Structures are given as structure tokens and as C-alpha cells.
């Protein structure tokens, strides 16, 4: 069993490269996942033993990330192949002026979220990408039809400000909607709210019987998707086309590691052969209790 730690904090960082080096040197050997450090803060998801995750929290607190938004979940299998700590320009890329270190919208606790998003004058925006929205979202939420977070400012420009005076936003763990709130405030929106801790915190804390969440929540690791109480839903990614597949999807035209119902008629002979060979090598590695590097 692996303990999974998702975290972020917007905070001014003078020397991101030094922070990266210090994290790498202090991390226990069993830690996997990715952390991104930038002048605006830190973001990432890592996993390992419970003891290692506690060590990582202590390390990051010592480095000044003592107000992190973080949450724990679990994975039966190792959710990431390796451990990476990267320096980038942004910890979540929106590609325009937004400064969450100085101003963000109003945080809304999961227990108060339902009351806010059911108000008729509130525009509820899912700040995630279109494939994430397709897998699950909150009842009544708007899909901005973005392929990546950089597309979000274009959607904001299309909002009818006369119709909606209040805006409520959410994302997987809270980082994208927090940065989006900073951007929208800079664009002149006055009442901007965002779900503290994101969808994952809501699914963890709000009882299923009172939940307004519909479907599953996509996560960027080998678990693929989580449901209420952060249970693993059984979704998989097709290796060939990266389409998210439910257990029902895999009943038709699905071959593990090779194709799914969405790409079976579009694969070239060369691509199919490569997928078959990769899957063969993966199964050999598994039979030897090893991790295939491309799995």
C-alpha cells in the first residue's frame, strides 16, 4: 500500500533552483511522483510509505511551505514510475498575468459548497480540461471546453458579466481554480469563489447522500479516477489513444495495452505492432515481479 500526497502552495520563492536541489537531496529513496517549483510556489503529487510522506511534509515545511493545501489518499500499486523535482516558470500554467501570491478569490469549504453552487445567480465553472469534465463534474457546472489550462482566459473573455454577478470555480485539488480566481479578479470580476481543497477534498468530506458530484474524478496517476471517499473507480487509460475507459468500456473491442473501442479502427499496422510488443514486455516484467519502464 502506497500513501499518496497531493499538495500545492502559492508563495514567493526567490531561488527555485536551490529549493529543487534541497528537496532532491532530502527525499527518501522510496518516494515517487513529481514536484514542480517556481517563483510562485510549489505543486505536485508524490507517493511512498507513510513514514516517507511525513518526512517530505517536514522537509517542505522547513523550506517555507508551511501553509500548503494538501491531502492524502492511497494506492494499492505504485502510482508513479520515478521521482522528479522540476523548476518551471509556473507551478500551473495559465500563460498570462495572474498573481495568486498577492490576491485570490474567496475560499469555500466543502461543507458550504452545495449551498453556494445551487444559488441561481452563481455561475459554476469547472476549470479543468474537457476530458476531465466528461468523466465527472458537479451538477449544473459549465464546461469551458478547454484542452489545457492555457485556454481558460479565452473562456473568461466570453462570459456575460451582466448575467452572472458571482462566480464559483473548482478543480481536482484546488490549484487551478485558485489561480483562475486570481486571474478573474485581475479582469474585473468582483465576487469570485473557489472550492478549498478541490474535488478530492469534497469527495473525502461530503457524504455521498448529500453530494452534488456526478461521475468520477480524473487524477494524473496510474489510479486514473477516484470516487466518493476517494475510492479507486476501476477506470483505465487506453495506452494507444489515452482515452479514459470505464469497466463497461472495456467489455467491447478492448485489448490490454493495445487498443480500445475508441481507437481500434484508427490504429496503423505499425502502431498496433508496437503496442503488442510493449504489452508483451510489460507482462514479462510483471511475471518477474519487475516494473516495466514503459508501463
CA 194, 197, 202, 203 dihedral sign is positive
Rounded to whole angstroms, the Cα distance separating 162 from 178 reads 23
List phi, psi (to 5°) of 195.
Answer: -75, 115
Q: How many CB atoms lie within 10 A of CB 143?
A: 15
**Residue 171 annotated among the catalytic residues of the structure:** yes
* Backbone torsion region of residue 104, taken as left when φ is above 0, otherwise alpha when ψ lies between -120 and 50, otherwise beta: beta
Residue 187 parent element (H or E): none
Rounded to whole angstroms, the Cα distance separating 173 from 217 reads 10
Helix (H, G, I), strand (E, B) or coil at 62: helix
CA 76 to chain centre: 19
Helix (H, G, I), strand (E, B) or coil at 238: coil
Write down the H helix ranges in 126-245.
Answer: 130-135, 152-157, 175-186, 198-205
Helix (H, G, I), strand (E, B) or coil at 234: coil
Q: In the 8-state DSSP scheme, what is residue 272?
A: H
- Determine which one of 32, 101, 148, 171 is catalytic: 171
Check: CB of residue 42 under 8 Å from CB of residue 60. Answer: yes
Catalogue the active-site residues.
171
Amino acid at each position: 500500500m502506497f500513501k499518496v500526497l497531493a499538495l500545492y502552495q502559492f508563495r514567493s520563492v526567490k531561488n527555485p533552483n536551490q529549493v529543487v536541489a534541497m528537496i532532491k537531496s532530502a527525499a527518501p529513496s522510496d518516494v515517487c511522483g513529481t514536484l514542480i517549483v517556481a517563483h510562485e510556489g510549489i505543486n505536485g503529487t508524490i507517493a511512498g510509505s507513510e513514514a516517507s510522506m511525513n518526512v517530505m511534509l517536514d522537509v517542505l515545511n522547513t523550506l517555507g511551505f508551511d501553509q500548503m493545501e494538501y491531502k492524502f489518499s492511497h494506492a494499492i500499486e505504485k502510482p508513479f514510475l520515478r521521482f522528479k523535482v522540476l523548476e518551471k516558470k509556473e507551478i500551473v500554467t495559465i500563460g498570462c498575468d495572474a498573481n495568486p501570491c498577492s490576491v485570490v478569490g474567496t475560499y469555500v469549504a466543502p461543507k458550504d459548497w452545495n449551498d453556494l453552487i445551487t444559488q441561481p445567480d452563481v455561475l459554476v465553472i469547472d476549470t479543468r480540461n474537457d476530458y476531465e469534465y466528461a468523466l465527472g463534474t458537479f451538477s449544473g457546472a459549465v464546461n469551458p471546453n478547454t484542452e489545457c489550462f492555457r485556454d481558460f482566459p479565452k473562456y473568461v473573455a466570453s462570459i456575460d458579466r451582466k448575467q452572472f454577478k458571482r462566480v464559483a470555480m473548482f478543480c481536482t485539488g484546488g490549484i487551478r481554480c485558485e489561480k483562475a480566481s486570481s486571474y478573474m479578479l485581475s479582469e474585473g470580476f468582483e465576487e469570485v469563489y473557489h472550492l478549498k481543497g478541490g474535488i478530492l477534498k469534497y469527495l473525502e468530506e461530503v457524504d455521498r447522500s448529500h453530494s452534488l458530484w456526478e461521475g468520477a474524478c480524473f487524477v494524473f496517476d496510474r489510479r486514473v479516477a477516484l470516487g466518493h471517499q476517494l475510492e479507486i473507480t476501476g477506470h483505465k487509460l487506453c495506452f494507444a489513444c489515452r482515452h479514459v475507459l470505464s469497466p463497461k468500456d472495456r467489455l467491447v473491442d478492448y485489448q490490454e495495452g493495445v487498443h480500445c473501442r475508441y481507437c481500434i479502427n484508427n490504429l496503423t499496422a505499425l502502431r498496433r505492432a508496437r503496442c503488442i510488443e510493449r504489452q508483451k514486455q510489460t507482462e514479462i516484467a510483471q511475471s518477474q515481479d519487475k516494473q516495466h519502464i514503459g508501463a
